[in-house]
Chains A and B, each alone.
Chain A
Amino acid sequence: EAGVTQSPTHLIKTRGQQATLRCSPISGHTSVYWYQQALGLGLQFLLWYDEGEERNRGNFPPRFSGRQFPNYSSELNVNALELEDSALYLCASSLEVGGEQYFGPGTRLTVT
């Protein structure tokens, strides 16, 4: 069974640009979660999607947004990139709400 996949692996952007990160959950999982792990910090919850709806978002500005598609894959968009947005962005999926989350390998975003 394929795990959670994320693309791209690495992304380099300039301050002010927009970044789009993609995630495909494990087959059958309907919940997708996005986390940010900045250098030296833990995982900060960004967004949670379930059945195509945004269920909750963390303490991040509105320029962090996303969506979940009918096939349950998801996109995270970061607008007006700032230097401090440089981080590892992790996507996770779960079979049921509140169940164990299975993580992808992450996308390393670097903003210069």
Chain B
Amino acid sequence: DQQVKQNSPSLSVQEGRISILNCDYTNSMFDYFLWYKKYPAEGPTFLISISSIKDKNEDGRFTVFLNKSAKHLSLHIVPSQPGDSAVYFCAASGSARQLTFGSGTQLTVLP
């Protein structure tokens, strides 16, 4: 049973445009959400996080939105750059403070 789902395995976006990566979760006990970026042959790198008490968190070009009623979060990257091309994982944790990861979305930013 996948508690964290990323339904789009891949996404292609033109450089300078907005990239929107989506993530859905089923466990209502999750209260902390994170996004990681992974380049080939490297470990995932932490990008941005959001607590369930917020609905938006911004860090430079990256913004994460949380819709608790829909159990949905999204990562917006504006403007997208070729260096953003990577696999993006969303992750969630609850009281156990153990991360559950989605299956990832391959983002390709076209120059």
Contact = CB atoms under 8 A, between A and B. Distances in A.
Interface of A: 4, 33, 35, 41-45, 48, 56, 90, 92, 97-98, 100-106
B98 A105 contact: no
A105 B42 contact: yes
A48 B44 CA distance: 17
B97 A106 contact: no
Contact of A56 (B32, B42, B44, B98): B98
Interface in B75-91: 89
B45 interface: yes
Given A42-B101, A56-B96, A56-B98, A101 B89 contact: no
A103 B32 contact: no
Contacts of A90: 43-44
Interface residues of B, number: 22
B53 interface: no
A41 B89 CA distance: 11
B101 A100 contact: no
Contacts of A97: 97
A105 B43 contact: yes
A43 B45 contact: no
Contacts of A98: 32, 93, 97
Interface string B35-73: 010000111111001000000000000000000000000
Nearest to A4: B43
List the 6 closest pairs (A to B, CB-CB), nearest first: A98-B97, A103-B43, A42-B103, A43-B101, A100-B46, A103-B44
A85 B8 CA distance: 26
15 contacts: A4-B43, A42-B6, A42-B89, A42-B102, A42-B103, A42-B104, A43-B101, A45-B98, A56-B96, A100-B46, A100-B49, A101-B46, A102-B46, A103-B45, A106-B41
